[in-house]
Amino acid sequence: MINRYSRPEMKQVWEPENKFQKWLDVEIAACFAHCKLKNITQKDYDTIVSKSKFDVERISQIESEIHHDVIAFLTNLAENTGPASRFIHLGLTSSDVVDTAFSLLIQDAGKLLIADIDQFMESLKVQAKKHKLTLMMGRTHGVHAEPLTLGLKLTVWYEEMKRNKARLINAVENSRVGKISGAVGNYAHISPKIEEIVCEKLNLIPSPASTQTLQRDRHAEFMTTLAIIAGTMEKISTEIRALQKTEFNEVLEPFSKKQKGSSAMPHKRNPVICERVTGLARCIRGYALTAMENQALWHERDISHSSTERIIFPDATIALNYMFYLMTNVFSSLTVNKDQMKENIHKSYNTFFSQQLLLKMVEKGMLREEAYRIVQKNSLEAFKAKEPFDKKIKEDSIITTLLSKKELKALFNYNKYTDNIDLIYKRVYS
């Protein structure tokens, strides 16, 4: 991922220094297991622990000559460790190290993303509670429907993020798997006990069965989970963008005092943060497809997945981490134009009370189809004439005969749109 969209903590997870450290952690854990099983002496193990160091530049130099990154890594370790290095990688194949270490990297990235979700959800909750009763127009098909509250809109997103958090926790846990089973997964040259000890030391679960690699359904699950979460973030950012349109002007993302919106038009305040989030979500969806393509490897293993995973896992986790950072800031400094929301509600000329009128007419004994036709006629005429709907229906003798002035007045009440907010909040936030 380019530096523009990289946050330091997540970027560090995928730096070569950390990757090779995870490889070393696996190798030393394997040596620990061999020592525990008396395959190597305590002295040799202690030497390996104290002297096994690596240098990223040296590994790169060796790899440029031999074209195998694991062997380059092991060669560099041997240069620093001395004779005891003959016990490093004892009975292992490259994927034992790479895939087990990859699981550790996914754990690190996953924990950061779970923390990101918590921070983002908190920013959502603060605004949801602040705007619990802030009325705004609800829209279906982009057209005025009925009022709801901004708090309810945010609460729907909060509830979705709860599901996303559960998905991510599950995907991270399902990726907490190690594999030390040899070239085709049959433990021909290494005891299953080694795998058991290594995984316990690294806080991983031994894969019950594997080939030369861990099976990529686990990795596809993790990546598709990131794509679903990114989809939620895109949905939220798209809504903010829509509500920031000049014609709406209801909710606006932060815009600093020194910020500029357009090189040509000084008046512009563009929703560039949310647009950036939308674009990054598209990338992550593409990575999810690649992760699913990686499930089908030839026989016990090929490396067609390897090149893609070096790109998609760092990029997807770094991008999502950055998206959370952006959107947490958006909701921490959100501009809410309550007066504009009221003004936009009034642009419907109260025609959104049509359902309440329809139901009342049906309650009075009128057939639904007939009542619908009458209410629709009056609402369309009121909107066309820019006349309040409650005034327009007083001119309809059928309606005024069916309902008293008191009954008609009672229909035009906003309480219907907020009466059950407490119930919804109790379900979501309790």
Report the DSSP pairing between strands 335-336 and 251-252. Answer: antiparallel
- Give, as one character, the DSSP assignment of residue 335: E
Gap between the Cα atoms of 234 and 164, Å rounded: 13
Q: DSSP E strands: which ranges in 283-374?
A: 335-336
For residue 350, CA distances in Å to 149, 405, 407, 420, 426 come to 17, 17, 16, 21, 30
Residue 268: what pLDDT? Answer: 86
Q: Under 8 Å CB-to-CB from 365, ≥6 apart: which residues?
A: none
Q: For residue 135, give the 3-state DSSP assignment.
A: strand
Query: 136 and 40 in contact (C-beta within 8 Å)?
Result: no
Calculate the CA 3 to chain-centre distance.
20
Of the CA atoms within 13 Å of residue 414, those in its CB half-sphere come to 12
Which residue matches tokens 């036709």?
Answer: 373
Q: What is the dihedral of CA 379, 383, 384, 387, to 10 degrees?
A: 100
Can you state the percent helix, strand and coil of the chain, rounding each to 5? 70, 5, 25
For residues 333 and 34, what is the distance between their CA atoms, to the nearest angstrom? Answer: 55
Sketch out the chain's domains with CATH numbers: 3-87 (1.10.275.10), 94-182+206-337 (1.20.200.10), 351-411 (1.10.40.30)
Question: Token pair of 238, please?
Answer: 């798209």
What residues are labeled active site? 141, 262
Residue 386 region by backbone torsions, left for phi larger than 0, else alpha for psi between -120 and 50, else beta: left
| pLDDT at 327 (0 to 100) | 97
Q: What is the mean pLDDT of each run of 10 residues along the chain (430 residues)?
A: 92 97 98 97 97 97 97 97 96 96 98 98 98 97 97 98 98 98 95 97 97 95 98 98 96 88 86 96 97 94 92 97 97 96 96 96 96 96 95 94 94 95 96
Using CA atoms of 146, 149, 154, 159 in order, give the dihedral in degrees to the nearest 10.
-80
DSSP 9-53: HHHHHTSHHHHHHHHHHHHHHHHHHHHHTTSS-HHHHHHHHHH--
- Can you say how many angstroms the Cα of residue 166 is from the centroid of all Cα atoms in its chain? 11
Q: What is the pLDDT of residue 2?
A: 86
Give residue 255's pLDDT: 86
DSSP 314: H
Of all helices (H) and strands (E), which one includes residue 205?
Answer: strand 205-206
The residue whose two tokens read 């031999």 is 66
Residue 223 CB-density burial (10 A; 0-12 exposed, 13-18 middle, 19+ buried):
buried
Residue whose tokens read 């309480």: 415
- The kind and range of the H/E element at 261 are none
The reported pLDDT for the residue numbered 378 is 96
Q: How crowded is residue 17: how many other Cβ atoms within 10 Å of its Cβ? A: 10
Strands (DSSP E) along 289-379, which ranges? 335-336
* 271, 272, 278, 283: CA torsion to nearest 10: 180
Distance CA 330, CA 32 (A): 48
Q: 3-state class of 177 per DSSP?
A: strand
Whole-structure pTM value:
0.94
Q: What is the CA radius of gyration of the chain?
A: 30
Q: What is the pLDDT of residue 264?
A: 87
At residue 207, φ and ψ (nearest 5 deg) are -65, 125
